[in-house]
Amino acid sequence: MTTTGWRWARAAAAAALLAFGGGASAAGRVIEVKAKRFEFSPAELRLKLGEPVTLRVTSADVTHGFYQKELGIDAEIEPGRATEVALTPTRAGRFTLICDHFCGAGHGNMRLVLVVE
């Protein structure tokens, strides 16, 4: 599951880079993340310590939150537009990112694990 999720993310990132005209953006590699009640996909992302990335997050249904306190991530994901979150991980470890905008009865379990190595 983890491996599949990672491959999926890598493919999505490649696609996004093309869409952004070759990835010349200063924010680095672009990774697509989809939010829908009550999951993020992929559910896990592997990031490299010190490598800048942009998470490009879209919602398939309602407004979701995108929150990871230690990494300083705090965004609102509204349906109908992509929200870009620039990030350069400065600490290794597993960080659980949560949806912190109530989105329904399964909201409490909506999370994305960021593995920084």
Partner 1 sequence: MRHPIDRRSFLRIAGLSLGAGALYRVAPALAAGPGGRDTARRLARANGEGVTPFSFVQLSDTHVGFRGPPNPTGTLAFERAVEVVNGLREQPELVLFTGDLTHDAEGRAERLARMRRFQQLASGLRAKARHAVPGEHDAAIDGGALYREVFGETSYAFDHRGVHFVALDNVSRPKPEIGAERLAWLRQDLARYPVTAPIVVFTHRPLFDLKPEWEWFTRDGAEAMKLLAPYENVTVLYGHIHREHVHQEPNGRHVAARSLIFAFPDPAAAAEKKPAPFDPQRPFRNLGPRLLHAGPGASSRTLALGMEEVELTLREHSGTEGFQQLLRPSTLEG
Which of residues 9, 99, 114, 116 is near Cu ion by CB under 5 A? 99
67 binds, among Cu ion, partner 1, none (CB under 5 to 8 A by kind): partner 1
Q: Is 75 in the site for Cu ion (CB under 5 A)?
A: no
Q: Which is nearer to partner 1, 13 or 77 (CB)?
A: 77
Q: Which is nearer to Cu ion, 57 or 99 (CB)?
A: 99
102 binds, among partner 1, Cu ion, none (CB under 5 to 8 A by kind): partner 1
Residues in region 4-23 near Cu ion by CB under 5 A: none
Neighbouring-strand partners of residue 37: none
Q: Which is nearer to Cu ion, 99 or 114 (CB)?
A: 99
